[in-house]
Structure 1
Amino acid sequence: MCRIAGIIDRNRTALEIQTDLSAMCNSMKHGGPDDEGFYIGEELGLGHRRLSIIDLSTAGHQPMFYGNQNLVISYNGEIFNYKELKTELLSLGLTFETATDTEVILAAYQAFGIQSFAKLQGMFAFALHDQMRKQTFLVRDCSGIKPLYYYAAYEKLVFASEVKAFKQTTYLFEENPNWKVCMLAFGHLPEPYTTLDEVNSLKKGYFLQWNHSDSTYQIKPYAVPSPKARVNNETQARENIKQSLTQAVKKHLISDAPIGAFLSGGIDSSLITLLAQQHLDEEAKQQKLNTLSIHFDVPSMSEKPYQDLIQAQAGTNHSEYLVTQKVFNTYLSDTLSAMDQPSTDGINSWFICHFAKQKGLKAVLSGIGADEIFGGYPSFKRMAWVKKLRKTPSFILKFGERFKKSALKRAYYLSYQNTVGDYLFLRGVFSPAEIAKILNLSLVAVDEVLRSLEIGHLPTNQAPALQASWLESNLYMQNQLLKDTDYMSMQHGVEVRVPFLDANLLEEIAAIQQQIKYQKDKPKRLLIDSFKDILPEKIWNRPKMGFTFPFQKWLIHNEYFWTAVNEIENPAVKQHLQHFKKGKLHWSKAMVIHQVFNGFKV
């Protein structure tokens, strides 16, 4: 797991490219503290910061070469099927000099060309330069777990793992004039947009092909999933899930560096922990899984009893950390400055990764993805209402702005009649009229920005539960959970792995009939039933608690937060903050205001 950067510009000298690349990589040193490397070729520079996890020797140094140095790569991620691919490539006569998964990517490209991208299973973003064909490829994994941002214009291509790295160059990247509108609406910036104008996120499952001969590029998907036969038998569905998740966890434990798992005490992290320790026991390694938990001195928000239950059952090497108001106050400014892009979330990820680093771990397993694919969110119930409300005339939906309740105000978004409107009705932070007042814009201007966002198209011909899963996976998880987890974990030089997004598991889940996969009023029932033999009832038969902190209380009493926002003169903002002080405004809205006005530096 690493950080990468690159520049292709025929109008720059090698020294100019090297200087900019060095500055970009230095700004991302936290994500690759173990090594640094550069390749400077004709009009091309690749940079790399390394976090050593597989093959810890210097053989893993990047950029890495292959094929008489005709191929060179700068790569961030993990390929979990690299051993199987290596066996296949060896049978085809390919040779290897290292034990890295990086070299497998190069050899696979040597053997199969761009078709090799679809063979890779894991979490990755890489730049691969083919000297013979005079082409460079930027490639991102199918679930968008690892980030890759790019700027392509005026015969140059600049790319990096973090948006902030672009500002370290001598190029002049302008601020995206619409980012604050998006932030106030979404609570994050939806892909492909960033805080910098024309700096975009490469779409997951796609590759960008740069042609050096004429400085042109194309962006194409590298894999179109083939539909499997439908599984309409619940017993078979449970068995498929059990086998696939068990294998996914096993693959995600591959590491030559210390690895562990987050244990929150919920269904997802508990399952990951139990399966990981079960694998270690079966391998007779006499090895205990490293687990870590956070709990609070606020009894109503502490999940410690559930964490203790799973730890006792699994017998892991466990560490727990108490986060208090004092600890939160000490580190809040650090967590906010660590954000690569503005977000209401991510603070919890910063803390758990901070403690993972203290524990000496370089990689940890997380339960991200289970709620999105197994129906763990309220949106899976509410989506049927969205489908009905879409048929309401727009002028009636716009009346929602006149109500005080946020849920009713958000009905306005459905008047957009598109994916943006559906998502913001379910998860929007501020309504369009509120955004207009906060930013001193017209309502028409706000509508124009939000209505025209290109964030993908919700399949309207699907059942409501499948639509909810699409929205949660492609928007909420993609733009907030995965993005926040990546930059907060890499801030500490820690890699977070997500077995629930394993390619084989996702394929098996996609093949299950919708009525079996999502059962009304029984969130994640299929996942629970698949593992009832190991998952204690006390874990799954209780109210759901998200992985969050006592933010509502702590932010109200946080001096750093109020120092940053007290000077804001905007009347609408002052009113919102007063409501927050009185407990009448959710903390997420207060945090969005903080990020928009003072907290995030573009």
Structure 2
Amino acid sequence: MPMTWPGLRLSTCGTSCFKWRGSAEMCGLIALLGASSSTFALETLQPALTYMHRRDPDAEGTWQEPGVWLGHRRLSILDLDIRSNQPLHSACGRYVIVFNGEIYNYRALRGELVAAGVPLHTTSDTEVILELFAHDGAAVLPRLRCMFAFVIWDRTARHAFAARDPYGIKPLYWAHTADGVLLASQVRALLDTGQVSRAPCARGQAGFWLLGSVPEPHTWYQAIQALPAGHCAWIDEGRMGSPQRWWDVAAAWRDAPDTLRPAAEVRERVRTALRASLAAHLVADVPVGLFLSGGIDSGALAGLMVEAGAQNLQGITISYDEFACTHADEAPVAASLAAHYGISHHVNRVTREEFAADLPRILAAMDLPSVDGINTWYATKAVAELELKVVVSDVGGSELFQGYSSFQQLPRLVTAWGPASRVPGAMSLARAAMGWQARHSGNARWGQMPDWARTMAGAWWLRRGLYAPADLPALMGPELAAEVLQGFSPDAWVGQMSGALAADGRLAVGQIESTTYLRNQLLPDSDWASMDHSVELRTPLVDAWLLRDMQPLLGAFSQFPHKRLLAEAITRSLPEILINRTKTGFGIPVQAWLSQMGKTGCEAGPSNAWAREVSRVYEGGKL
């Protein structure tokens, strides 16, 4: 991960004002890139573009030349100028772009282009990135504070460049076809062309059953892959080149110093970095929504946004009858928080009947199988009902500020089990005891504890795992499972996703959580769930520049348990009831709902029940 960049200029208006930075737009893209001799039927591509209409309802555009077809759908936040519609051409006419996302620091970058005499015809960040690429090529990527996925076609060299943001906030999938490389913002869009095989991907499907989400670069289908987060690739003569990493989130954790620092220094540097990230992610002159829960993460964002002068801030909380008058009901605490900061507060109470009616649409919107996402879908549904187009999410706070219990528990677990292998007879006794526990509890993962809990990757797998590897033949069929089970080890799986782990236990947990659970589940779920309601979801706590600024301090976060550091970033303190409240998560009573709806397989647990329901739809060919 780059720590310094020559010529880099941060764009911020400070923390006491907001200034609109031009057009913001979230989009869906599709591209077919073949050889100049390639021919293809346009009628196979239009359905894929049409499929993304809910994601981006404001405009649609296409462009083609021999062997190339680019399509784009646009969700405009402010700028409705048709000159900003895509595909967009560079001033020189050589490059054409389809872009999904936002460049938060584009005003400063635009100023550089203007100073250099580059003619600009729109106020969009899309034009800025296109002209920067025309001058600097791929070297422009580390200069972007961003969430994005884009494809740029070079009409002269007849090759294309594709790239994705550091965390993978915005998706980009690709497949080889008879006509060339097909890329799109959604897996379903690729399938809708009718040119991509639906043959199953063993590793992708196993990842869903084992961990609750499909690990990139895999998908549910063998023929489709994700361009990995923080990677770019060249497409030449209808073939995708090997993806190259241009940013490494895992390395930020792995290389962070595991040293303590003066508490006052840590607080001040974190406060400064948070304010800069929030200023970059906010827009003005339009009401902005905020997911408001009973947790420190959203409470801290609320306080920081109010401190920064946000106007018309709308707090959105989801509540359920099943949680009423229990600790799991976040509405009362969220209401207290909203009153504390003077935020307009909206509580959307979701019932089982509403869930039953919405279930087909939820499953249709889910681009890849996941055991999560329902909560975000309902939260952004509430945002859309308030006629808001932008919402701020606190996703990523528990990873960055080390708030999960795993940050404390897993290092202790490894410390406890690691020496057992060196004691004669201890492992045999432990395997027998844990095997008995596995048989009598019905949870096969107990049987893995003696062998897996000795490494950080194995201990993490025991905590995050949904089903055990031994369950795979029954879940996905013996043939497909056999491809995964041969030589299976959690260390190898985690290694593929996270790379070599940090030596410090807490930093290793942060590295794993950021490159697995956050990357493969929370961020993809945030994208499909929000875009199904045509809502732009922004993530100021999932920001590569924020991680860069905090990286030297990550080892010192252990001085601030329970995300105290995040809570202390606000000048006006959070209410004590929020700081001292036990973490509940962003829960939903899906197990009870599915059971009441007569669905089978609900006895294993909420995530297991939802996994089985999702798989029924995917494997039944209903999507």
TM-score bracket relative to the smaller structure: 0.7 to 0.9
Secondary structure of the residue aligned to 2:261 is coil
User: Structure 1 residue 299 and structure 2 residue 333: aligned?
Assistant: no
Structure 1 window deviating more from structure 2 (65-74 vs 525-534): it is 525-534
Superposed CA RMSD: 2.8
Tell me the equivalent position of 1:210: 235
> Who is 2:35 aligned against?
10
Query: By how many angstroms is 1:215 displaced?
Result: 4.4
Give 1:471 shift: 1.1
Q: Report what 1:483 is aligned to.
A: 524
1:434 alignment counterpart: 471
Instruction: Say whether the 8 Å CA contact 2:453–2:462 is kept in structure 1.
Output: no
Take 2:530 and 2:450, find their aligned partners in 1: how far apart are those partners?
33
Q: Hey, what does 2:363 align to over in structure 1?
A: 336
- 1:470 maps onto 2:511 in alignment: yes
Match of 1:280 among 306, 309, 313: 309
Which position in structure 2 is the counterpart of 1:182? 207
Residue 312 of structure 1 aligns with which residue?
Answer: 339
**Partner of residue 588, structure 1:** 607
Who is 2:154 aligned against? 130
| 2:373 paired residue number | 346
Superposed displacement of residue 428, structure 1: 0.5
Unmatched 5+ stretches in structure 1: 282-286, 566-576
Counterpart AA for 1:97: H
Distance across 2 between alignment mates of 1:396 and 1:77: 54
Moved more, 321-330 or 480-489: 321-330
Give me the whole-angstrom Cα distance separating, in 1, the residues matched to 2:554 and 2:520.
Answer: 27
Aligned position for 2:597: 558
| Alignment partner, residue 437 of structure 2 | 403
- Shift of residue 339, structure 1, vs aligned partner: 0.8
Contact 1:188 1:480 in 2 (8 A): yes
- The question of whether the paired residues in 2 share the 8 Å contact of 1:231 and 1:237 is answered with no
Deviation, structure 1 residue 524:
1.4
The answer to whether the 8 A contact 2:150-2:162 is kept is: yes
CA apart distance, 1:312:
1.2
Alpha-carbon contact 1:401-1:431 (below 8 Å) kept = no
Residue equivalent to 1:371: 398
Q: Is the 8 A contact 1:269 1:367 kept in 2?
A: yes
Say if 1:247 and 1:553 are closer, same or farther in 2 by CA, change over 3 A. Answer: same
Residue among 80, 84, 90 paired with 2:108: 84
Q: Cα gap change, 1:274/1:461 in structure 2, threshold over 3 Å: closer, same or farther?
A: closer
Measure, in 1, the Cα distance between the counterparts of 2:273 and 2:388.
26
**Could you tell me which residue of structure 2 aligns to residue 573 of structure 1?**
none
Separation in 2, partners of 1:471, 1:403: 27
Residue 108 (structure 1) aligns with? 132
Unmatched runs of 5 consecutive residues or more in structure 2: 1-25, 422-426
Of 537, 542, 550, 1:496 maps to 537
Choose which of 253, 266, 287 in structure 1 pairs with 2:295. Answer: 266
Cα offset, 1:495, TM superposition: 1.1
CA pair 314-418 structure 1, distance change in 2 beyond 3 A: same
Structure 1 letter corresponding to 2:535: V
Question: Aligned residue for 1:242?
Answer: 271
Measured after TM superposition, the shift of residue 422 of structure 1 is 4.8
Answer yes or no: is the 8 Å Cα contact 1:293–1:320 preserved in 2. yes
- Give the structure, 1 or 2, with the largest relative contact order (CA under 8 Å, sep 6 or more): 2
Contact between 2:172 and 2:184, CA under 8 Å: does it hold in 1?
A: yes
Find the counterpart in structure 2 of residue 35 from structure 1.
59
| Equivalent position SS for 1:51 | strand
Change beyond 3 A, Cα 1:415–1:316 = closer
Change (3 A) 1:155 1:36: closer
Asked if 2 retains the 8 angstrom alpha-carbon contact of 1:414 and 1:422, the reply is: no
**Greater mean alpha carbon deviation, residues 382-391 or residues 93-102:** 382-391
Deviation at 1:83, TM superposition (A): 0.7
Asked if 1 retains the 8 angstrom alpha-carbon contact of 2:256 and 2:553, the reply is no
Contact 2:177/2:195 (<8 A) preserved: no
**Matched AA of 1:250:** A
Displacement of 1:170 in angstroms is 3.3
Distance 2:305 2:207 in 1: 39
Task: Give the Cα separation in 1 of the matches to 2:78 and 2:144.
Answer: 16
Asked if structure 2 preserves the Cα contact closer than 8 Å seen for 1:53 and 1:255, the reply is: no
Partner of 1:572: none
Tell me the amino acid that sits aligned with residue 233 of structure 2. L
**How does 1:48-67 map onto structure 2 within 5 Å?**
48-67=72-91
Give, in whole Å, the separation in 1 of the partners of 2:475 and 2:231: 37
Q: TM-score of the superposition, structure 1-length normalised? A: 0.88
CA shift, 1:12, in A, is 7.1
Say if 2:287 and 2:313, in contact at 8 Å, map to a contact too: no
Structure-1 separation of matches of 2:170 and 2:81:
23
Aligned to 2:71: 47
Does residue 163 of structure 2 align to residue 139 of structure 1? yes
Greater displacement, 171-180 / 408-417: 408-417
Q: Identity percentage over the alignment?
A: 29
**Which residue does the alignment assign to 1:149?**
173
Question: Which residue of the partner structure matches residue 518 of structure 1?
Answer: 558
Post-superposition Cα deviations, 1:94-117, rounded to whole Å, max 9, x if no partner, equal: 221111111110111122111011
Go from structure 1 to structure 2 and tell me whether the alpha carbon gap of 1:420 and 1:60 turns closer, same or farther (over 3 Å shift): farther
**C-alpha distance in 2 between matches for 1:294 and 1:127:** 36
Change in CA separation of 1:440 and 1:22 when aligned onto 2, cut-off 3 Å:
closer
Matched letter for residue 299 of structure 1 = C
The whole-number CA distance in structure 2 between the counterparts of 1:480 and 1:134 is 35
Measured in 1, the distance between the counterparts of 2:78 and 2:431 equals: 54
Partner of 2:485: 447
CA positional deviation for 1:43: 0.9
For the residues of structure 2 that align with 1:408 and 1:185, how far apart are their CA atoms? Answer: 11
Counterpart Cα distance in 2 of 1:416 and 1:234: 33
Residue 330 of structure 1 and its aligned partner are, at CA, apart by 2.4
Instruction: Give the letter for the 2:352 counterpart.
Output: Q
Question: Greater shift after overlay, 115-124 or 298-307?
Answer: 298-307
Offset from partner CA, 1:422-441 (integer Å, 9 cap, x none): 54222001112223344453
Matched-pair contact (CA < 8 Å) for 1:232–1:513: no
- Deviation string 1:179-233 (CA, Å, 9 cap, x unpaired) is 4432211111111110111311111111011124x84623212246898998822
Q: 1:13, CA displacement in angstroms?
A: 5.3
Q: Distance in 2 between matches of 1:216 and 1:188?
A: 25
Q: Deviations over 1:411-430 (max 9, x none)?
A: 36955998864542220011
Deviations 1:4-48 (A, max 9, x none): 1111123875551x3232111111111111111111122111110
Q: In structure 1, how many angstroms separate the alpha carbons of the residues matched to 2:180 and 2:420? A: 47
| 1:544 aligned onto 2:606 | no
Q: Secondary structure at the match of 1:312?
A: helix
Query: In 2 relative to 1, CA 396–420 (structure 1 residues): closer, same or farther, beyond 3 Å?
Result: farther
Equivalent position SS for 2:54: helix
Aligned residue for 1:128, secondary structure, equals strand
CA distance in 1 between partners of 2:469 and 2:247 (Å) = 37
Higher mean alpha-carbon deviation, 359-368 vs 291-300, is at 291-300
Greater shift after overlay, 159-168 or 322-331?
322-331
2:228 aligned with 1:194: no
Query: Using the alignment, how far apart are the partners of 1:93 and 1:171 within structure 2?
Result: 44
The CA deviation at 1:445 is 5.3
Measured in 2, the distance between the counterparts of 1:87 and 1:397 equals 65
2:67 counterpart letter in structure 1: E
AA at the equivalent of 1:190: P
The number of aligned residues is 573
Q: Is the 8 A contact 1:109 1:116 kept in 2?
A: yes
* C-alpha contact (below 8 Å) 2:27/2:73 kept by paired residues: yes
- In structure 2, do the counterparts of structure 1 residues 223 and 596 end up closer, same or farther at CA, with 3 Å as the change threshold? closer
CA distance in 2, matches of 1:467, 1:492: 36
Write the distance in 1 (CA, Å) between the matches of 2:198 and 2:74. 29
- How does the TM-score come out when normalised to structure 2? 0.85
